């Protein structure tokens, strides 16, 4: 049986986006390849603060906005993994200004972070978070963004 391979869709729901959508797709593809998730359907939705606040409340009962919320919607009867990742472009722009890099780099971080949660990583403890963030930076450095999470 032939494999379906990865499919990555990015849906932009903000008026303007300071990022190259194809590069963001490449970030998702590289992350999936690195962890051998070779047959996944991934949808990344780029939203603003208001939409993220709604998502955050609907699924996590938190009234604040946030950077990324992700879901593994894989049906246990299917072989293909299904991921949904919502990233907040307005939050990313604010964080990027504070950290001294591009909004695109910050969005790339959020995409990697959201996917890593479904590829065996967690950030529930200090040790787990450090491992996850170092992995994020390794992926982003390899893709030309440099170290995004940790100070340079």
**The CATH fold of domain 7-142:** Collagenase (Catalytic Domain) (3.40.390)
Beta strands in the chain (DSSP E): 7-12, 40-47, 68-72, 81-88
- Predicted TM-score (pTM) of this structure: 0.94
For residue 77, what pLDDT is reported? 86
Biggest distance spanned by C-alpha atoms of the chain:
49
The residue length of the chain stands at: 152
For residue 151, what pLDDT is reported? 59
The tokens describing 148, both together, are 């995004």
User: How far apart (Å, rounded) are the C-alpha atoms in residues 103 and 121?
Assistant: 24
pLDDT means per 10 residues in the chain (152 residues)?
Answer: 75 95 97 92 97 96 96 89 97 96 97 96 94 96 92 56
């Amino acid at each position: 049986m032939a494999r379906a391979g990865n499919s990555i869709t990015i849906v932009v729901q903000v008026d303007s986006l300071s990022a190259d959508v194809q590069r963001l797709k490449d970030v998702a593809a590289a992350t999936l390849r690195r962890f051998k998730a070779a047959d996944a359907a991934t949808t990344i939705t780029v939203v603003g603060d208001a939409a993220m606040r709604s998502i955050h409340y609907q699924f996590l009962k938190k009234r604040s906005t946030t950077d990324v919320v992700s879901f593994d919607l894989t049906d246990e009867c299917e072989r293909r993994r299904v991921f949904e990742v919502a990233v907040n472009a307005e939050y990313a722009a604010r964080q990027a200004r504070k950290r001294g890099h591009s909004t695109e780099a910050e969005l790339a971080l959020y995409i990697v972070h959201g996917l890593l949660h479904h590829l065996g990583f967690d950030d529930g403890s200090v040790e787990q978070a450090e491992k996850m963030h170092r992995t994020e930076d390794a992926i982003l450095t390899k893709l030309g963004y440099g170290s995004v999470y940790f100070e340079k």
